[in-house]
Copies of this chain bind each other. A is one copy, B any other.
Amino acid sequence: MTIAAETTESAARSRLAQSARAETGRHTTSEFHEWLDRRRAAIAFDVEHLPLGDLENWSRDSDSGDLVHDSGRFFSVRGMRVSAGDRVGTGWSQPVINQPEVGVLGLLMHEFDGILHALVQAKAEPGNAGGVQISLTVQATRSNYSRVHGGAPVRYIEHFVGTEASHALVDVLQSEQGAWFFHKRNRNMVVETSQDVGVHEDFFWLTLAQLRSLLLVDDLVSMDLRTVLSCTPLVDSADDSDGESFDAVVRRSLGRVSTPPAVAGETLRWFTDAKANTSAVATLVPLRQVDRWTVGGASICHQTGRYFEVVGARVTVSGREVAQWDQPMIAPCGVGVVAFLTRIVDGDARVLVRARREPGFMDLVELGPTVQCIPGNYAHLPVEHWPPYLDLVLDADPADVRYSVALSEEGGRFYRALNTYSVIEVHDDLAAAPGFRWVSIGELAALLVHSNYLNIQARSLIACMHALW
């Protein structure tokens, strides 16, 4: 690369970092809350549960039993079979959402008075527990924005497709829930425009510091916004150190992404080993063929009542072009726990990552949080059969819980999928169990320019860590 390109990258990074420090921008935080209250009052949302067989425009394919939209659009609920290669008897099957398109998750930015601002949207989704969330400027599938099936234009999409997109500050494909989606990936984008942008009433300009601080509020920042924020460098390596507190070290560590790639060599080789040692193969199969799931009834559920259910929803909304629709949704059976154990070593913040095998990943293994589970799935088992470190997270000394906020997974597909996201400081030299590794959070942040490394829960936690300072 030329020196000019390097300078551009570095300048972009500084400007993002500057916005991440700007606690007031075009609007004050109280103006934001007034706007949010107005949007909450304006957007009325109602979700009624229906048996899957009663969903309008959805039906079972007569051959496969798959749950499909009559138009062939949107997504389908199919089966996924995981065969564990040479390990006999360890495979399983489950329902899964198949949506083979790459969508755009786009955050539009514009400079006001020398400070970059992000255009966020007040958006309600049927699965949201609290109704309206703060989300991205654009969330759209390819057939959505290319309007191959007609439909209203997607607001602001012109900034993310076509020529201007080549000037993106962030543009990377990232995976979504590998336990619920088959090979789903979205394009995480941050694009700056120099044009004047008309602001629709559902949209609002915030500095990145204002946005960061919203991550301290329960169930407010959407999953899609969190993943895009995680891929956005918010700390400049030039940011000055401000002490040795946990939060200060985390901030500094997040900015340490300019280390040579070779530095992460040992971590990458450990990750290769984890990938090479899984011989599992996941394939789509007819929904009718999944074992141990009841697929013919009002909902699709596991015989034990654990994991998740596929339920039917009738959604009625005001303030959108489509007033009512039906759709299936995945409803997890219980509130989940997503946590990073974090340790400060020699002034650097490290987290304990797990090489997670989620069958829906394109690459089968990605790096996930220390703990990511629904504890209710293990309640019938003795502690020694719980996922590693779950007991440490559940029993953590409150003084060591540096972050703990309830956040939702994407409310367009998942019904009330709430997780408690937490960052827990450990003080001992805790050994990494097999499949786990202590890595610097600067290394993780550096890996976010690539696909197939951090799963969406780990990315959310990286975004949450930006709220600490």
* A265: nearest chain-B partner, CB-CB: B9
A433 adjacent to chain B (CB < 8 Å)? no
**Contacting residues, chain B, for A273 (C-beta < 8 A):** 165-166, 171
The one of B13, B272, B451 that contacts A187, using a Cβ cutoff of 8 Å? B272
User: Could you say which of A148, A275, A451, A452 has the most chain B C-beta atoms within 10 Å of its C-beta?
Assistant: A451
A87 to chain B minimum Cβ distance, whole angstroms, is 10
Given contacts A142-B86, A272-B173, A363-B362, contact A449 B100 (CB under 8 A): no
Please report the C-alpha to C-alpha distance between residue A257 and residue B261 in the assembled complex, in whole angstroms. 8
Q: Is the CB of B451 within 8 A of A452?
A: yes
The answer to whether A2 and B346 have CB atoms under 8 Å apart is yes
In the complex the two chains form, is B269's CB within 8 Å of A168's CB?
Answer: yes
**In the docked arrangement, what's the CA distance between A10 and B6, Å?**
23
A338-349 toward B: CB 8 Å interface, digit per residue (1/0)? Answer: 000000001000
User: 7 nearest interchain CB pairs?
Assistant: A171-B269, A258-B260, A1-B263, A171-B272, A9-B262, A187-B276, A102-B276
Asked whether A259 is an interface residue with its Cβ less than 8 Å from the other chain, the reply is yes
Complex interface bits, A419-454 against B, C-beta within 8 A gives 1, otherwise 0: 000000000000000000000100100100111100
Expressed in whole angstroms, the Cα–Cα distance for A346 and B346 within the complex equals: 41
Across the interface, which residues of B come within 8 angstroms of A171, CB to CB?
Answer: 268-269, 272-273
How far does the alpha carbon of A261 sit from the alpha carbon of B171 in the complex, in Å?
14
A315 within 8 A of B: no
A42 within 8 A of B: no
Interface string of A76-118 (1 = CB under 8 A from B): 0000000001100000000000001110000000000000000
Q: Which of A242-266 contact B (CB under 8 A)?
A: 257-266
Partner of A263, one of B6, B146, B165, B362: B6
Which of B187, B279, B452 interacts with A101 by CB under 8 Å?
A: B279
Cα–Cα distance between A363 and B183 once the two chains are bound (Å): 10
Take A263-B9, A273-B171, A279-B101 as given contacts and tell me if A86 and B143 are in contact as well, using a CB distance cutoff of 8 Å.
Answer: yes
A346 to B142 CA separation, bound complex (whole angstroms): 40
B residues near A450, Cβ cutoff 8 Å: 268, 450
B-facing mask of A154-197, CB < 8 A → 1, else 0?
00000000000110101111000000000000010000000000
Q: Which residues of B contact A446 (CB under 8 A)?
A: 261
Contacts of A6 in B (CB 8 A): 259-260, 262-263
A378 beta carbon closer than 8 Å to chain B: no
Sample of 5 A–B contacts (CB below 8 Å): A100-B279, A173-B272, A257-B262, A259-B260, A265-B449
Interface members, chain A 271-322 (any B CB < 8 Å): 272-273, 275-276, 279, 281
CB neighbours (8 Å) of A148 from chain B are: 86
Interface centre among A270, A443, A450 (most CB of B within 10 A): A450
| Residues of chain B lying within 8 A (CB to CB) of residue A143 | 86
Is A5 interfacial (CB 8 A cutoff)?
yes
B residues in contact with A173, CB < 8 Å: 272, 275-276
A281 touches B166 (CB 8 A): no
Min C-beta distance of A435 to chain B, whole Å: 14
Residues of B with C-beta under 8 A to A13:
262
Residues of B within 8 A of A10 (CB): 262
Least CB distance from A30 to B in Å reads 36
CB of A147, distance to nearest CB on chain B (Å)? 11
B452 touches A452 (CB 8 A): yes
Chain B residue numbers with a CB within 8 Å of A86 are: 142-143, 146, 148
- Given A171-B273, A273-B166, A279-B102, the answer on whether A266 and B5 have CB atoms closer than 8 Å is yes
Beyond the given A142-B279, A172-B269, please list 12 additional residue pairs across the A-B interface where CB-CB is below 8 A.
A1-B264, A1-B267, A5-B266, A10-B262, A85-B100, A86-B143, A102-B275, A102-B279, A168-B269, A173-B275, A257-B260, A261-B261
**Mask for A343-385, Cβ within 8 A of B = 1, else 0?**
0001000000000000000110000000000000000000000
A155 to chain B, nearest CB (A): 20
